Amino acid sequence: MAGVDQGNFAMSNSSKKSGIVYLVGAGPGNPGLITRTGYELLRHCDAVAYDALIPLELVASLPERVERHYVGRRAGRHSMPQTEKNRLLVSLAQRGLNVVRLKGGDTSFFGGSAEEAECLAAAGIPVVVVPGVTAASAVAASSGLPLTGRRDASWVFFATGHGSAADAIPVPWGKIAALGGGTVVVYMGLANLEKIVNHFLAAGHSMETPCMVVQGATTGLQRILESKLGDIVADCRKHQLRPPALAVIGQVVQHRTPPSSPSLPLSGKRVLATCCARETEQVCAALRRYGAEPLPYPAYILEEVDDAQGWSRFSQIAVSGGWCLFTGGLEVRGFMDSLLRNGHDLRLLGRFKIAACGPAEGELLQRSIRPDIILPHRRKKLSRKDLGTSGAGETLVVFSREVVMDAAEWAEVLRLELFRTKPISWEPHWIQEIRDNPPDYILFRNPAEVAGFINVLGLNEAQDLARKCRIIPLDEMVKAAASCYGLQFNAEEGSAFNKIIESAGHL
Determine contact, residues 99/89, Cβ cutoff 8 Å.
yes
Burial of 78 (0-12, 13-18, 19+ CB in 10 A): exposed
Q: Which is nearer to ligand SAH, 102 or 283 (CB)?
A: 102
Determine contact, residues 48/67, Cβ cutoff 8 Å.
yes
* Gap between the Cα atoms of 239 and 70, Å rounded: 31
Q: Which is nearer to ligand SAH, 266 or 277 (CB)?
A: 266
Q: In this structure, what DSSP letter does residue 257 have?
A: -
Q: Which of residues 117-136 bind ligand SAH (CB under 6 A)?
A: 134-135
What is the size of the binding site for ligand SAH (CB under 6 A)?
Answer: 26
Q: Which is nearer to ligand SAH, 28 or 334 (CB)?
A: 28
Q: Which is nearer to ligand SAH, 53 or 454 (CB)?
A: 53
- Candidates 93-101, 243-251, 315-323, 413-421 — which segment interacts with ligand SAH by CB under 6 A? 243-251
Q: What are phi and psi of 238, to 5 degrees?
A: -60, -45
Q: Which of residues 336-355 bind ligand SAH (CB under 6 A)?
A: none
Least separation in angstroms between CB 214 and ligand SAH: 5
Least separation in angstroms between CB 166 and ligand SAH: 18
Nearest one of 42, 48, 26, 37 to 93, comparing CA atoms: 48
Position 399: which residue type?
F
Q: How big is the CA angle at 128 (ends 125 and 132), to the nearest 5 degrees?
A: 145
Least separation in angstroms between CB 72 and ligand SAH: 11
Q: Does 143 engage in binding with ligand SAH (CB under 6 A)?
A: no
Q: Which residue is nearest to ligand SAH (CB)?
A: 105
* Gap between the Cα atoms of 312 and 464, Å rounded: 46
Q: Does 294 engage in binding with ligand SAH (CB under 6 A)?
A: no
Least separation in angstroms between CB 294 and ligand SAH: 15
Q: Which is nearer to ligand SAH, 187 or 441 (CB)?
A: 187
Q: How big is the CA angle at 36 (ends 33 and 38), to the nearest 5 degrees?
A: 85
Q: Which of residues 245-264 bind ligand SAH (CB under 6 A)?
A: 245-246
Q: Which is nearer to ligand SAH, 90 or 214 (CB)?
A: 214
Binds ligand SAH (CB under 6 A): choice among 21, 53, 93, 120: 53
Binds ligand SAH (CB under 6 A): choice among 138, 248, 466, 477: 138
Q: Which is nearer to ligand SAH, 246 or 286 (CB)?
A: 246
Q: Which of residues 375-434 bind ligand SAH (CB under 6 A)?
A: none
Q: Which is nearer to ligand SAH, 42 or 357 (CB)?
A: 42
Q: Does 187 engage in binding with ligand SAH (CB under 6 A)?
A: yes
Least separation in angstroms between CB 234 and ligand SAH: 20
Least separation in angstroms between CB 222 and ligand SAH: 7
Strand 210-215 and strand 245-249: the pairing is: antiparallel
* Gap between the Cα atoms of 212 and 180, Å rounded: 18
Q: What are phi and psi of 255, to 5 degrees?
A: -105, 20
Helix (H) or strand (E) holding 340: helix 329-341
* Gap between the Cα atoms of 349 and 369, Å rounded: 10
- Candidates 237-245, 285-293, 466-474, 479-487 — which segment interacts with ligand SAH by CB under 6 A? 237-245
Site string for ligand SAH, 12-51 (x = CB under 6 A): ----------------xx----------------------
* Gap between the Cα atoms of 241 and 483, Å rounded: 37
Q: Which is nearer to ligand SAH, 4 or 246 (CB)?
A: 246
Residues comprising the chain, all counted: 507
Alpha-helix runs per DSSP H in 162-192: 173-178
Q: What are phi and psi of 311, to 5 degrees?
A: -65, -35
* Gap between the Cα atoms of 236 and 270, Å rounded: 21
Helix (H, G, I), strand (E, B) or coil at 460: helix
Q: Which is nearer to ligand SAH, 217 or 478 (CB)?
A: 217
Residue 329: half-sphere exposure toward Cβ, Cα within 13 Å: 20
Q: Which is nearer to ligand SAH, 24 or 355 (CB)?
A: 24
The residues, any chain, with a CB within 8 Å of residue 361's CB and separated by 6 or more, are 326, 327, 328, 329, 331, 332, 374
Helix (H, G, I), strand (E, B) or coil at 1: coil
Site string for ligand SAH, 190-229 (x = CB under 6 A): ------------------------x-xxxx----------
Q: Which of residues 54-113 bind ligand SAH (CB under 6 A)?
A: 103-106, 109-111
Determine contact, residues 215/242, Cβ cutoff 8 Å.
yes
* Gap between the Cα atoms of 208 and 249, Å rounded: 11
Q: Which is nearer to ligand SAH, 140 or 349 (CB)?
A: 140
Where on the chain is the footprint of ligand SAH (CB under 6 A)?
28-29, 53, 103-106, 109-111, 134-135, 138-139, 187-189, 214, 216-219, 243-246
